[in-house]
């Protein structure tokens, strides 16, 4: 028997016995793998950050935090369908999680799955009715579905709570404009330009509404 084959058989036997042979690298524990992932992401190495998550032992790999983290990294890597799957697994593990539902909205938006964005945002809002991110993405979904009056209603709700958020106010203005409420749209765009005179969408909206600054 060759030395190479002998060593392979020894490794196989050790795998069943739980003994790590001399010279073999011990299996990193979950804490080490999580930390490797965080460290790699911190320096912008997203693929390297995903590898430790996939190398976790089955119990940890199928846990909530691992699935949330995999969803995030897969989204950042542009692997949107896989990200949706990971976030969905996380939601199944923690049915009352707002976090996982907010997370899955990003890849669904990237894939322009507006009806899915709407339904998921509504799920999040059932758990956390005033959640800023869920409301903003629900309004954005309505807008892209051509449901402009509904989009305006949700954007208005957000601006009432966050009056200084000019990007949300821009969404409100455009929703009004698309809903044939030019006067309301002009009012919102002018409010934005009073404090952000170079805001591109507000300037474009005002022009589209047939008004001047």
pLDDT at 113 over 70: yes
Angle among Cα 81, 40, 54 to the nearest 5 degrees reads 45
Do the Cβ atoms of 114 and 130 come closer than 8 Å? no
| pLDDT class of 126 with cuts at 50, 70, 90 | very high
Residue-level pLDDT at 211? 79
90, 114, 145 - which closes a domain: 145
Distances (CA, A) of 193 to 37, 104, 146, 156, 182: 43, 33, 26, 18, 16
Residue 39 and residue 139 in one domain: yes
Residue 135 and residue 213 in one domain: no
Total tally of structural domains belonging to the chain: 2
Tokens, residue 145: 């579905």
Render 13-24 in DSSP notation, one character per residue: HHHHHTPPPTTS
pLDDT at 20 over 60: no
| pLDDT class of 125 with cuts at 50, 70, 90 | very high
CATH number of the domain enclosing 82: 1.25.40.10
Residue 36 and residue 134 in one domain: yes
Render 102-145 in DSSP notation, one character per residue: HHHHHHHHHTT-HHHHHHHHHHHHHHSTT-HHHHHHHHHHHHHT
Residue-level pLDDT at 212? 73
pLDDT, tens only, 30-64: 999 999 999 999 999 999 999 999 999 988 999 99
Residue 204 and residue 176 in one domain: yes
145, 162, 185 - which closes a domain: 145
Q: What is the pTM of this model?
A: 0.83
pLDDT at 19 over 60: no
pLDDT, tens only, 81-104: 999 999 999 999 999 999 999 999
Residue-level pLDDT at 26? 61
Render 143-199 in DSSP notation, one character per residue: HHTT-HHHHHHHHHHHHHH-TT-HHHHHHHHHHHHHTT-HHHHHHHHHHHHHH-TT-
Do the Cβ atoms of 200 and 176 come closer than 8 Å? no
Mean pLDDT across the chain: 90
Residue 208 and residue 158 in one domain: yes
145, 166, 200 - which closes a domain: 145
Do the Cβ atoms of 190 and 206 come closer than 8 Å? yes
Residue 139 and residue 36 in one domain: yes
Half-sphere exposure of 77 (CA within 13 A, CB side): 19
Domain that includes residue 113, residue range: 30-145
Q: Is residue 35 a part of any domain in this protein?
A: yes
Residue 64 and residue 122 in one domain: yes
Give dist(CA 120, CA 124) in Å, integer: 6
Residue-level pLDDT at 197? 96
Q: Is residue 17 a part of any domain in this protein?
A: no
pLDDT, tens only, 136-172: 999 999 999 999 999 999 999 999 999 999 999 999 9
Q: Is residue 210 a part of any domain in this protein?
A: yes
Residue 152 and residue 196 in one domain: yes
Closest to 156 in 3D by CA, of 185, 116, 193: 185
Do the Cβ atoms of 147 and 134 come closer than 8 Å? no
Residue 135 and residue 151 in one domain: no
DSSP-derived 3-state class of residue 16: helix
pLDDT at 80 over 70: yes
Q: Is residue 123 a part of any domain in this protein?
A: yes
Q: What percent of the chain has pLDDT over 90?
A: 84
Residue-level pLDDT at 25? 54
């Amino acid at each position: 028997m060759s030395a190479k084959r002998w060593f392979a058989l020894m490794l196989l036997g050790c795998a069943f016995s739980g003994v790590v042979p001399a010279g073999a690298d011990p299996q990193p524990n979950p804490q080490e793998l999580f930390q490797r992932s965080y460290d790699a992401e911190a320096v912008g190495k997203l693929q390297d950050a995903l590898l430790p998550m996939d190398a976790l032992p089955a119990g940890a790999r199928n846990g909530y935090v691992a699935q949330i983290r995999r969803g995030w990294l897969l989204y950042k890597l542009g692997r949107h369908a896989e990200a949706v799957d990971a976030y969905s697994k996380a939601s199944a593990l923690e049915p009352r999680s707002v976090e996982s539902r907010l997370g899955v909205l990003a890849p669904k938006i990237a894939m322009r799955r507006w009806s899915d964005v709407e339904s998921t945002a509504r799920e999040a809002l059932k758990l956390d009715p005033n959640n800023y991110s869920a409301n903003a993405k629900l309004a954005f979904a309505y807008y892209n579905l051509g449901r402009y009056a509904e989009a305006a209603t949700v954007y208005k709700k957000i601006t009432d709570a966050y009056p200084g958020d000019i990007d949300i106010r821009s969404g409100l203005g455009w929703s009004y404009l698309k809903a044939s409420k030019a006067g309301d749209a002009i009012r919102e765009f002018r409010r934005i330009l009073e404090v952000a005179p170079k805001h591109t969408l507000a300037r474009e909206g005002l022009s589209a509404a047939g008004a001047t600054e």
